[in-house]
């Protein structure tokens, strides 16, 4: 049986980029994948849709359940979980990937943007985990994976890099640091109940459509950019039986530690 055969995974922010890659990789390993994003068939500026992710999964023989939900809204999160459970029957794996990626200098932040960043990047993962965790504990197993960022780490210096001086990542990094702490703290609380909780970030940049739209990735980050498949493979490694728990992990470093290759999204072995 494939690694995730018989399991159901809920992946947020699954229209494009890292979320879509994780959803497709999990489906290739036999999981039924519940896909969540704000819209089904269109985005104002970015390529990639929930419907397209679902279509790719079903074309490969997998099962995808797209559900439209605005995760910045409490009632929408409640509805998402209710629909996922009603349609799929259970959720064994929760991947909190959806995020608000705002970048601007400290003095330019408004209360509205601050509230949205913390609501989507911190409160939504916390809320979804609270809603799904009781069923995982009842079953004696489950997996919660929070997708984080290198921006959660402290800037090195002084002197400071141009990116940390002018990149505007302070608030985004704050939210991801909170998400990392949630991951390790929750892992400790539910370890005895068989639930595995981790945080996962790219080692460097992943040049997804959303990242490219920000227009802030410096050239040195581009040279170190990793394929989205690395994040998908690392996510799979943290959402299977025997996975480590309580980790703030980084994709390529984790795969090297575990001796795992980067596979294609469809699960075929990459030759490179």
In angstroms, the CA 255 to CA 156 distance is: 25
Q: How many domains does the chain have?
A: 1
**Residue of 148, 149, 183, 251 marked catalytic:** 148
pLDDT tens-digit series, residues 149-166: 999 999 999 999 888 888
Residue 191 within a domain: yes
In angstroms, the CA 45 to CA 28 distance is: 29
Asked if residue 25 has pLDDT above 60, the reply is yes
Q: Which of 49, 46, 4, 62 has the alpha carbon at shortest distance from 29?
A: 4
Mean residue pLDDT of the chain comes to 92
pLDDT tens-digit series, residues 213-239: 555 555 656 666 789 999 999 999 999
User: What are phi and psi for residue 10, nearest 5 degrees?
Assistant: -105, 120
Question: Residue 220's domain spans which residues?
Answer: 8-258
Residue 82 within a domain: yes
Residue 86's domain is classified under what CATH number? 3.40.50.720
Residue 220 within a domain: yes
Residue 263 within a domain: no
In a 3-state reduction of DSSP, which class is residue 122? helix
- HSE on the CB side for 213, CA within 13 Å? 14
Asked if 148 is an active-site residue, the reply is yes
Asked if 172 is an active-site residue, the reply is yes
Residue range 122-130: mean pLDDT, rounded: 98
pLDDT tens-digit series, residues 84-124: 999 999 999 999 999 998 888 999 999 999 999 999 999 99
Residue 244 within a domain: yes
Residue 1 within a domain: no
The dihedral built from the CA positions of residue 231, 237, 239 and 243, taken in this order, carries a sign that is negative
**Residue of 7, 101, 172, 250 marked catalytic:** 172
Q: Per the confidence metrics, is the pTM higher than 0.85?
A: yes
In angstroms, the CA 250 to CA 224 distance is: 14
Q: Which of 209, 111, 208, 106 has the alpha carbon at shortest distance from 166?
A: 106
Residue 53 within a domain: yes
> Packing angle between helix 170-190 and helix 111-118, nearest 10 degrees?
30
Residue 24 within a domain: yes
DSSP string, 64-102: EEEEE--TTSHHHHHHHHHHHHHHHS---EEEE------
Asked if 176 is an active-site residue, the reply is yes
In angstroms, the CA 36 to CA 76 distance is: 11
């Amino acid at each position: 049986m494939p690694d995730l055969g018989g399991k159901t995974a809920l992946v947020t922010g699954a229209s494009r980029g890292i979320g879509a890659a994780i959803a497709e990789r999990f489906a290739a390993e036999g999981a039924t994948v519940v896909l969540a994003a704000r819209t089904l068939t269109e985005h104002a500026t970015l390529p990639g849709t929930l419907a397209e992710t679902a279509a790719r999964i079903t074309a490969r023989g997998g099962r995808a359940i797209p559900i439209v939900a605005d995760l910045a809204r409490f009632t929408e999160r409640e509805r998402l979980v209710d629909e996922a459970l009603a349609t799929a029957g259970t959720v064994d794996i929760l991947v909190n990937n959806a995020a608000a990626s705002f970048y601007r200098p400290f003095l330019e932040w408004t209360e509205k943007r601050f509230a949205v960043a913390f609501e989507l990047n911190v409160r939504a993962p916390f809320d979804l985990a609270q809603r799904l965790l009781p069923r995982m504990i009842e079953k004696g197993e489950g997996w919660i994976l929070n997708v984080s960022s290198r921006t959660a780490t402290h800037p090195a210096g002084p002197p400071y890099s141009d990116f940390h001086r002018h990149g505007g990542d302070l608030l985004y990094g704050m939210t991801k640091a909170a998400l990392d702490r949630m991951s390790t703290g929750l892992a400790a609380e539910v370890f005895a109940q068989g639930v595995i909780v981790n945080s996962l970030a790219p080692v460097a940049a992943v040049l997804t459509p959303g990242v490219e739209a920000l227009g802030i990735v410096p050239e040195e980050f581009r040279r170190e950019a990793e394929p989205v498949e690395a994040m998908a493979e690392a996510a799979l490694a943290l959402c299977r039986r025997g996975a480590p728990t309580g980790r703030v992990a980084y994709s390529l470093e984790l795969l090297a530690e575990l001796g795992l290759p980067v596979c294609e999204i469809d699960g075929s072995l990459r030759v490179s």
